[in-house]
Amino acid sequence: MADGILSGLRVADFSRVLAGPYATMALADFGADVVKIESPAGDDTRSWRPPVDEAGESTYFGAVNRNKRSVVCDLATPEGLAAARALAETADVVVENFRPGVMERFGLDEDSLRAANPGLIYCSITGFGRAEGAGLPGYDLLVQAVGGLMSITGAPDGEPSKVGVALVDVLTGQNALAGILLALRERDSTGVGSRVDVDLLGSLLAALTNQASSTLATGRSPGRLGNAHPSIAPYELFRAADRELVLAVGNDRQFAAFAAAIGLPELAADARFATNEERVHHRAALRAVLEPALAARPAADWVAVFGAARVPAGLVNSVGEAFAFADSLGLDPVTTTADPATGRTSRQPATPIHLSTSPAVHRTPPPLLGAHEPQWLDAVRPSTERTTR
């Protein structure tokens, strides 16, 4: 059993693709024993390639499955189903993201398991909930569309655009993690487990924050502003002499410092730009003044100038440049794990959660399919280290 603040916690992970595995990897990073239960074909993302890592494994799968054990259970066979049930009945947490009704068909639903495991935390992840939306397929792109995110993403005169990563899945995975930890805290007090339900659409709507609140308050849905902000200016992308940079001027004090740094201190006294509200109203006029001034120097020069003036600004980095930037700040953004048996290694983003007394431990690379079958009997044997229910 691994060390960590969640050491002794067993997770039966029936989830696939991204939202569920994202949540269970976070639990594993802090010491939970996460057993990933896969079909004979494996998690769908094992076949989502290219790209692949040095061992030829899918980098998509690798992104959210470190620190886990993999066992194959064919739920269509009595043997596979019995093994999966044995694990679920000895687990502290079950996580699943099948279509509603699938786990019931196999007798792996919450009600079926709770009689044998009253302290179980049962986390169910769906696309659109368990009521009228139960039959709808929960794909991130689809939810970005029907959930309104694409309507506010992209250029004003262009087509709606998705975000460059499956953001809704990630947000839902974070909500699942939070829900599981809340349920575990409740179990500490009551001794009884509970159900955690999260869905992609609800996670997205909650994450729309200010765009959602403005819609609910005014009855008007916002449109696309490209890289501009609906309530702050200048807070968008600009072109310097060689490449793009962003400005994130969040208040009037910062704007005065920005105007001085750019060599146009009079802008701070201009009635059109003196306050944030006026700058938002006169966004186009402000941009017309700033564009030629910013185009006079390279972006890195401006970032240095604005940094000295304590004005938020930055380059538009590639993903590789972003990791290098984080590393230059001492954030240690990359972790490398190695399989002691095979020497296989994997480089992944490190967990962003830092605990001073019980830090995350990145122990093992994402498992090969069924790699832990020899330990299966141990996986379903109750652990004396687990929380007493």
- Which residues belong to the active site? 169
Distance CA 156, CA 222 (A): 11
Distance CA 280, CA 383 (A): 60
Scan for tokens 């201009």, then name that residue.
Answer: 270
First-last CA distance in the chain: 19
DSSP strand pairing (121-126 vs 93-96): parallel
DSSP class of 361 = -
Question: Cα 82 to chain center, whole Å?
Answer: 33
> 138: alpha, beta or left, given left = phi > 0 and alpha = psi -120 to 50?
beta
In whole angstroms, how far apart are CA 386 and each of 6, 182, 183, 280? 9, 18, 16, 56
Question: Cα 348 to chain center, whole Å?
Answer: 14
In whole angstroms, how far apart are CA 42 and each of 26, 39, 46, 76, 104? 20, 5, 7, 14, 21
Write out the DSSP string of 93-117. EEEE-SPTTHHHHTT-SHHHHHTT-
Note whether 25 and 68 are within 8 A (CB): yes
What are the backbone dihedrals phi and psi of residue 150, each rounded to the nearest 5 degrees, phi first?
Answer: -65, -25
